Structure 1
Amino acid sequence: MRGYGAQQIRDAEAPHLAAGEPLMARAAAALARECERMLVTEGVSLSHARVVVLVGGGNNGGDALYAAEALAKKGVTVELVRTSSRVHEEGLAAALAGGATVVAGPTARLATRAASSDLIVDGILGTGTSVDARLRGEAREVVAGIVAVRRSAAVVAVDIPSGIHPDTGHVPEPAAVLRADVTVTFGGCKAGLLLPPARDYAGDIRLIDIGLTVELDEQTPLIELDG
């Protein structure tokens, strides 16, 4: 397994984005499929499932919103929790048109509602995180609240679990990081997912090909593991 740095992934994406390729659509479709697979594995029918999507302000939030649209169109009850005042507006519009709803209210109530769902989708932060990867503001409060009361809700992380560093695997505030059952990561595996202590927060890693293989093969990964 090869682990790449966040900037390496962004550099690999750049020519594809410049060419207008639908990288977000590819990522979102794969994310939705993985969420469906998890629900079915847990014995929850789509028509009876409730999924809570934690939506951040970047492209991870956009991936999550388009996946929310796809799930809602299949009959899943999808609730969106905005953790940022700024979100991917086109993705939000698509999710709402597909049947998802935005839930708001006191942080403790949102955390409890998410923790009692069938599936939580962590779409808060991705490879655009700063040197200090810890969550802040409302995002931190919601996630810390879920961590405190979570019992059985499954968690899918979008690209990386929010609050871990994508390059180093550093986890600056463990109490505000949702441990994922599955991390759906796109293009190339982020090095931090393979390194302690973040490795223990990533769960099973599903690497999704969105068309970056040629560009990443030209780069030297930050880490390479055998087996």
Structure 2
Amino acid sequence: MVHGWSAEQVRAAEAPHLEAGEPLMQRASDGLAEAVRGLLRDSGRWPAPVVLLVGSGSNGGDALFAGAGLAADGCPVTVVPTGSRVHEAGLAAATGAGAVTDDPAAWDTPEGAGRRLQETGAAVLLDGLVGTGTSADPALRGRARDVVEALLPSLRQPGAPAVVAVDVPSGVGPDDGSVPDPAVLPATLTVTFGGHKAGLLLEPAAGLAGEVVLVDIGLLPDLARMTPLVTR
């Protein structure tokens, strides 16, 4: 039996830990990096190139800190920033470990995205574009949507990189599993933090999440005192 929690419930569970100064992002990113290592080792490619699709929020920070760990292990890491800002400490950590930042404009057409996938040799795309957020409409917008739409044709080809979603696949409803726009990267693996998000247990989002792995960052006792949104 798996319990699924709303984004609001997870944020409420996080609040006292954040107030106490606990390193929740570091716990999440460490678990994310370890999941990527396992995926690559299972595929027989380790170390291997990883591309980080990075948005403006905390999911982008999770991706960047995980990328720092992977780069330190010898994986060539490329950062593709798609938002209006970037998590500065995460970017500094990734860059300090050897990651390089690419121009997102090189990724926003199918031809460009396909060419950059070949040039980077990406074995994994880390989807850290958006997370649970606060918007009623989870659909991607702006450059993030352009990059995802450009990547989709290449991901349908043989030998395409695996997609690892950070917390939830970007563009799906974390509470209701809705997919209001088809611009979503189907994940091979979703690494979710703290507790399963309800939307990962509901269609159509569940069909885009691939295998779901939970990273315990210390919230489970807090969530256990709440009534889950979904139980499967």
1:145 aligns with 2:146: no
TM-score by length of 1: 0.95
Q: How far, CA to CA, are the matches of 1:129 and 1:117 in structure 2?
A: 31
Once the two structures are superposed, residues 194-218 of structure 1 have per-residue CA deviations (whole angstroms, 9 ceiling, x without a partner) of 0000000000000111000111011
Q: How far, CA to CA, are the matches of 2:209 and 2:39 in structure 1?
A: 15
1:149 CA drift (Å):
1.9
Deviates more, 1:107-116 or 1:138-147: 107-116
Q: How far, CA to CA, are the matches of 2:15 and 2:152 in structure 1?
A: 35
TM-score by length of 2: 0.93
Going from structure 1 to structure 2, the CA distance change for 1:20 and 1:194 (only over 3 Å counts) comes to same
1:111 aligns with 2:113: yes
Once the two structures are superposed, residues 92-140 of structure 1 have per-residue CA deviations (whole angstroms, 9 ceiling, x without a partner) of 1111001000011432265222475210000011111411110000000
- Which residue of structure 1 aligns with residue 49 of structure 2? 50
Q: How far, CA to CA, are the matches of 1:133 and 1:80 in structure 2?
A: 23
Q: How far, CA to CA, are the matches of 1:114 and 1:127 in structure 2?
A: 27
Identify the match of residue 131 of structure 1 among 136, 141, 159: 136
Q: How far, CA to CA, are the matches of 1:72 and 1:208 in structure 2?
A: 21
- Which residue of structure 2 aligns with residue 172 of structure 1? 180
- Which residue of structure 2 aligns with residue 11 of structure 1? 12
Going from structure 1 to structure 2, the CA distance change for 1:221 and 1:70 (only over 3 Å counts) comes to same
What is the CA RMSD across the aligned residues, in angstroms? 1.2
- Which residue of structure 1 aligns with residue 95 of structure 2? 96
Deviates more, 1:126-135 or 1:214-223: 126-135
Q: Percent identity at matched positions?
A: 52
Identify the match of residue 208 of structure 1 among 208, 215, 221: 215
Gaps of 5+ in 1: none
Once the two structures are superposed, residues 144-203 of structure 1 have per-residue CA deviations (whole angstroms, 9 ceiling, x without a partner) of 1111221221010000000001000000112x1000010000000000000000000000
Once the two structures are superposed, residues 68-105 of structure 1 have per-residue CA deviations (whole angstroms, 9 ceiling, x without a partner) of 00000011000000010211111111110010000114
1:121 aligns with 2:123: no
